[in-house]
Amino acid sequence: METNQELTHDEKTIYDRQIRVWGHAAQEKLKNSKVLVANLVSGSVSESLRHLALKGVMIDILDDRMLESKEELERQMSIHYLINEEQEGMKISEAFKQSLDKITQFAKISVIEGDNLGAVKNLEEYSAIILGYNNFSETKDLPTDLEVPIVLAKSYGAVGVSFCHLGSSYSFTETLKIDNKDMTKTTIYNDSKPIKDWMEHWLSFDKFTPKLLSRVRVKKKAKEDFIVALLITFISESQGIDLSDAKSQVIDIFEKNNKGALLEETSDLEKYLGDIKESYITPEFHPVQSVLGGHLAQEMLKIVTKMGRPFYGLYLYNAVEQQGRSFPPTYLHNLV
């Protein structure tokens, strides 16, 4: 463990405006903390990476894929602002490091060799991990004993999705205004269930869907329709089946619960499914990546400094409705 380094005068000057947001102590903590950014398959992850580097946190990048051809380079350039046309033949992690070194002043960015999280030794030395994924089923390979807070991110067209797991025990402080006075409060989240279990739990769709759907009917709120649409997507990804097949599974459950007739009234569900389906044609919709990535960087900042209440569980952003909400792991669980 390195000794805690104080901020230099130069750093205080460059980071002046953000120090005014979160204070010197938090900036110093950022300087002395390291984050792992792995698997840059989504623009939201690379946006987070860019913000984290600008904020001044140490970063290791893990992504062994090569920008091997002109076509691959162009594809990556359409996803990531930080990849440029001079980087053909480079490793993705190295390309990001090169671009970030140009736009940041003091951030220490390093490249880690390996093609998945399992290849990384000493995961515990990181303050947090941010991980991109192609397919929801990949998350089954996550280490079960991971104690480091981890954030997963991806977007589907107009929809951004993220999961955050904070480890079995996570504590943070936050400042609350009580009787007009600033009070510091410490909260501890205890959660013995590893992220993998939560994922499996969320994916065991039929267990809680009837309950969830009954709530959809009662509340008729767009956000619940939206969740159902997402769950259909998750089912389709994790089981490797078409969206339409996943949807018929949901309809089956509706009908079993005598809710079939009501489904027809739910135009929003169709709309969201449409949004998500479209996303397979244009998988990377940059403005959504930008909103999701910016937000995740902000949450990472809370996690690294342990200051402020981070989101925990599932986070959804819907660009059409301009709504972004998080649901704690227990939200879906409690519906059962």
Contact residues: other proteins, CB under 8 A: 9, 12-21, 24, 43, 47, 50-51, 54-56, 78, 81, 84-85, 102-103, 105, 158, 177, 285-291, 293-295, 297-299, 301-302, 308-312, 315, 317, 319-326
Which of residues 71 and 124 has its CB atom nearest to other proteins in the complex? Answer: 71
Which of residues 171 and 323 has its CB atom nearest to other proteins in the complex? Answer: 323
Name the β-bridge partners of 111.
61
- The least distance separating other proteins from the CB of residue 287, rounded to whole angstroms, comes to 4
Residue with token string 């991806």: 154
Q: How many residues make up the chain in this entry?
A: 336
Which of residues 78 and 244 has its CB atom nearest to other proteins in the complex? Answer: 78
The two counts, helices (H) then strands (E), for the chain are 13, 10
- The least distance separating other proteins from the CB of residue 52, rounded to whole angstroms, comes to 9
Which residues contact residue 18 at a Cβ distance below 8 angstroms, ignoring those fewer than 6 apart? 27, 55
For 278, half-sphere exposure in the C-beta direction (CA atoms, 13 angstrom radius) is 10
Using CA atoms, how far apart are residues 140 and 239, in angstroms rounded to an integer?
12
Using CA atoms, how far apart are residues 157 and 113, in angstroms rounded to an integer?
31
- Name the token pair of 76: 């990556």
- The least distance separating other proteins from the CB of residue 12, rounded to whole angstroms, comes to 8
Which residue, among 37, 40, 31, 39, has the nearest Cα to 11 in the 3D structure? 31
- The least distance separating other proteins from the CB of residue 63, rounded to whole angstroms, comes to 19
- The least distance separating other proteins from the CB of residue 104, rounded to whole angstroms, comes to 8
Which of residues 19 and 304 has its CB atom nearest to other proteins in the complex? Answer: 19
Which of residues 19 and 231 has its CB atom nearest to other proteins in the complex? Answer: 19
